[in-house]
Amino acid sequence: MPGVEDLYREIILDHYRTPRNRGELPPPAVCTEGNNPLCGDDIRIFLDIADGVVRDVKFSGQGCSISQSSTSMMTVAIKGKPVEEVRALVRRFKHMMTLSDDEGAVDESIKLGDIEALGGVVKFPVRIKCATLGWNTLLEGLNSSQG
Amino acid sequence: MAGANTSLDAEKIRQDFPVVTSSINGKPMVYLDSANTSQKPVAVIDAMTAFMREGYAPINRSAYSLAAEATEKYEGARTKVAKFINAKSSREIVFTKNATEALNLIAYSWGRTNLKRGDVVVLTHMEHHANIVPWQMLQQEIGIELRWVPLTSDFQLDLSSLSNLLAGAKVFSFTSMSNVLGTINPVEKLCAAAHAVGALAIVDACQSVPHAPTDVQAWGADFTMFSSHKMCGPSGVGVLWGREALLEAMPPFLGGGNMISEVRLDGFKCAELPAKFEAGTPPITEVIGLGAAVDYLNGIGMANVRRHEVEMSSYVLENLTARFGDEITIHGPRNPELRGATFSFAFRGIHPHDLSQILDQTNVCVRAGHHCAKPLMKIIGANATARASFYLYNTKADADALANALDSASDIF
């Protein structure tokens, strides 16, 4: 059995205790809600996108340390980035979570930085859904804001 | 005095359950998830293995003696289940895939025949999804009205407005025991209230049949259902009990082999009860396993099981409260006589998912999440809880292991 130290890395607990970009954005920012039907966690992502760039992002909702910290790190990584770069990052992250994605090829050269700490989650397959909740919700938001 | 009043010997009973006495990485198993699904005694495992090795054959359709004996064993299990819940006749026992299918069968077969737009079905805020969604499907399909019995602040059903809610109702469907709160509901009283307005009384007994004596006639219920896998039997089989006249009047649910007495190109004629509701080859081995589970529980005595769980509840409530005080919030009644040994709780602000992950380090198995009762979770103000549930094979040592593991959880957060 893998030890929990592989899961609860210090940077993860830091984002859990002090989440970044927590809050909400008023319309016309796009709000998307994601649920983890397994555990009842829910998360809302607010996206302010203009000229193909994520100008601002915030998140709210409730969840475990993994879903909250993963979403917090994600918001830091995507704020100010062009949407296409964000999509490539999502693909890269889901690839690390061993989830295949048929939306495009994974660019392995993309640096994940702090997000790399979530790699240990793969050893706890039940928690992969927690780690990807915010990212899947982000994807939905990107799709609906471009729809 | 001694003997008659002592409950069962859990230390001895543990030895009957291979998973309960197992260990992972040298650490003993502490299985506290029996409200989810129970572990299986050797008697059940052996009965199923023996049947598959020595007696396996189709039922109800072949003349050779192997098949006749298989049919006898299958029907023997039905008789055991009927006696276990004091049904009038084994014709009132229908084997389904699980309790969820049994509830769907009632909503589909009885509901679609007897309910029309605007008819009222009363549920409670304690229900799990299996006793909500089939009715919501009818609501979408034919426009029935759903009403809900709320909770009191001490986690009981609030019966103060029950007569108003039941006025004009066609169905009152409720749980005998909450799978989240542990609350045991006054089933006889609720059935009587339903009948007083001419409504059907449906008792979802998944959480109580495994843990206490059941007498469907004393309840005065019309339908009840429960799962084999929560009562030491295998998964894959559930039980629907219904009053014979009601089952007789209902159209079939699934169509196919075994549920017919005649099929022609221009139509079919249903088989007698209970075959009418058992289309296709049933889970034969599993039903025989359920029969063995009933034998096993009868050997221990359901009153003894109940007494043991009241003792466990007292111990768990006293210990967790004494040790953690305000740091633990138990969502459920404090009186062990009014509850089963199922405890949903919040602890030191640690998310239940994280909590169960850390408890898993010492093989303490608890469920984390919404327990398939999302509306109830919203009402008690929790997105998720951790839930520890005890059964006949759990001891005070298991309760101590839970408390110790909880204490170590805050080291990380």
Q: Is pLDDT at B183 greater than 80 in this prediction?
A: yes
Residues from chain A contacting residue B370 (CB–CB below 8 Å): 39-40
Question: What mean pLDDT do residues B36-43 have?
Answer: 98
pLDDT band at residue B338 using 50, 70 and 90 as cut-offs: very high
Q: Is the dihedral of CA B194, B277, B103, B225 positive or negative?
A: positive
- Beta strand B200-204 with B169-175: parallel, antiparallel or unpaired? parallel
With CB atoms and an 8 Å threshold, state whether B370 touches A39: yes
Closest to A33 measured CA to CA, from A71, A7, A83, A80: A71
With CB atoms and an 8 Å threshold, state whether A4 touches B357: yes
pLDDT at B369: 86
With CB atoms and an 8 Å threshold, state whether B354 touches A64: yes
The CA-based angle B202-B208-B214, given to 5 degrees, is 75
- Looking at per-residue pLDDT, the higher value among B381 and B305 belongs to B305
Please give the share of chain A, as a percent, with pLDDT higher than 70.
94
Active site residue B270: no
With CB atoms and an 8 Å threshold, state whether A39 touches B374: no
With CB atoms and an 8 Å threshold, state whether B383 touches A38: no
Q: What is the pLDDT of residues A83-116, one digit of tens each?
A: 999 999 999 999 999 876 566 678 888 889 999 9
Q: DSSP string of A24-85?
A: ---TTSEEEEEEETTTTEEEEEEEEEETTEEEEEEEEEE--HHHHHHHHHHHHHHTT-BHHH
With CB atoms and an 8 Å threshold, state whether A65 touches B354: yes
Mean pLDDT (chain B, rounded): 95
Question: What mean pLDDT do residues B283-298 have?
Answer: 98
pLDDT at B412: 80
Question: What mean pLDDT do residues A75-79 have?
Answer: 97
Measure the CA–CA gap between B21 and B14, rounded to whole angstroms: 7
Q: Is the dihedral of CA B33, B35, B36, B38 positive or negative?
A: positive
Collapsed DSSP state (helix, strand, coil) of residue B123: strand
pLDDT at B371: 84
Residue of A nearest to B383 (CA): A40
- Looking at per-residue pLDDT, the higher value among B43 and A6 belongs to B43
Q: What is the pLDDT of residues B69-88, one digit of tens each?
A: 999 999 999 999 999 999 99
Collapsed DSSP state (helix, strand, coil) of residue B341: coil
Q: Which amino acid is present at B193? A: A
Residues of B with CB under 8 A from a CB of A: 24-25, 351-354, 357-358, 360-361, 368-370, 374, 377, 383-384, 412-413
Q: What is the pLDDT of residues B190-231, one digit of tens each?
A: 999 999 999 999 999 999 999 999 999 999 999 999 999 999
Measure the CA–CA gap between B5 and B157, rounded to whole angstroms: 30
Q: List the single best residue of A1, A8, A35, A64 to mutate versus B (max B Cβ within 10 A).
A: A64
Question: What mean pLDDT do residues A131-142 have?
Answer: 96
Can you say whether residue A113 is alpha, beta or left, with left for phi > 0 and alpha for psi between -120 and 50 degrees? left
Alpha carbon separation from A26 to A3, A47, A48 (Å, rounded): 42, 10, 9
pLDDT at B1: 36
- Looking at per-residue pLDDT, the higher value among B412 and A40 belongs to B412
Q: With beta carbons less than 8 A apart as the criterion, state whether B401 and B158 touch.
A: no
Q: Which domains does chain A have, with CATH numbers?
A: 4-146 (3.90.1010.10)
CB-based contacts of B2, cutoff 8 Å, min separation 6:
none
pLDDT at B362: 93
Q: Is pLDDT at B4 greater than 70 in this prediction?
A: no
With CB atoms and an 8 Å threshold, state whether B351 touches A65: yes
**Residue located via tokens 């043991």:** B308
pLDDT at A100: 63
The minimal CB distance from A40 to the residues B357, B358, B377 is found for: B377
The Cβ-side half-sphere exposure at B213, using a 13 Å CA radius, reads 11
Q: What is the pLDDT of residues B112-131, one digit of tens each?
A: 999 999 999 999 999 999 99
pLDDT band at residue B3 using 50, 70 and 90 as cut-offs: very low
CB-based contacts of B186, cutoff 8 Å, min separation 6:
none
pLDDT at A2: 75
Residues from chain A contacting residue B352 (CB–CB below 8 Å): 39, 64
Question: What mean pLDDT do residues B63-71 have?
Answer: 95
Residues of A with CB under 8 A from a CB of B: 1, 3-4, 7-8, 13, 16, 38-42, 62-66, 124, 127, 130
Q: With beta carbons less than 8 A apart as the criterion, state whether B288 and B71 touch.
A: no
pLDDT at B384: 85
CB-based contacts of B146, cutoff 8 Å, min separation 6:
B120, B121, B122, B123, B135, B136, B139
pLDDT band at residue B2 using 50, 70 and 90 as cut-offs: very low
Measure the CA–CA gap between B390 and B310, rounded to whole angstroms: 10
Closest to A9 measured CA to CA, from B358, B355, B412: B412
Which residue intervals of B143-283 are DSSP H helices? 162-166, 187-196, 216-219, 244-249
Residue of A nearest to B24 (CA): A1
Q: Which domains does chain B have, with CATH numbers?
A: 10-40+301-409 (3.90.1150.10), 46-299 (3.40.640.10)
The minimal CB distance from B369 to the residues A39, A124, A127 is found for: A39
Residues from chain B contacting residue A39 (CB–CB below 8 Å): 352-353, 368-370, 384
